[in-house]
Amino acid sequence: MITPLDVTDRTLAERLLTIQHAAYAVEAELIGFDGIPPLREDLDGLMSSTEHWLGRYDGTLLVGAIAYELSDDTVEIDRLIVDPAHARRGHGRALLDHLDRVAPRPVSLVSTGSANTPAVTLYTSRGYAAVAELEVAPGISITQFRRES
């Protein structure tokens, strides 16, 4: 089940933050860099997020989420997180598919650590093309992706 999330709900935000920290810890390990901002975010920061959120549940357990921003013609994905204990089960793909249905836009944007092979593979398999690579720290880069429909 995928549903909108209210990140001002403290209990929900605590679970979401646990997932976010675990998911970004995996990415930090993959890319060799632990300076990823969502890895350092605290509960108050998450609860004050102005992004739109969708959550993926396995039964009653929140196992993943996607945060995004919308404009008239663009959806920008800010975060796609899956609890590492539930990874590789299609939750990330399901969240992206659901977002395409509920907030269709001609342009979709997302970025990830260039060395985050699982994320790069997921985005390219869904039609995203790399448009830029930016060095965010010495030897550490992120790749920006764009998809047009």
Residue 58: CATH number of its domain:
3.40.630.30
Q: Give the pLDDT confidence of 35-65 residue by residue, as tens digits.
A: 888 889 999 999 999 999 999 999 999 999 9
10-31 vs 117-125: helix crossing angle, rounded to 10: 100
Domain membership flag for residue 112: no
| Token digits of residue 19 | 């997932």
Overall domain count for the chain: 1
Dihedral over Cα of 128, 129, 134, 139: its sign: positive
Residue 71's SS3 state is coil
Cβ atoms of residues 78 and 51 within 8 Å:
yes
Residue-number span of the structural domain to which 61 is assigned: 2-106
**Count of C-beta atoms within a 10 Å radius of residue 33:** 19
Q: pTM for the full model?
A: 0.92
Domain membership flag for residue 144: no
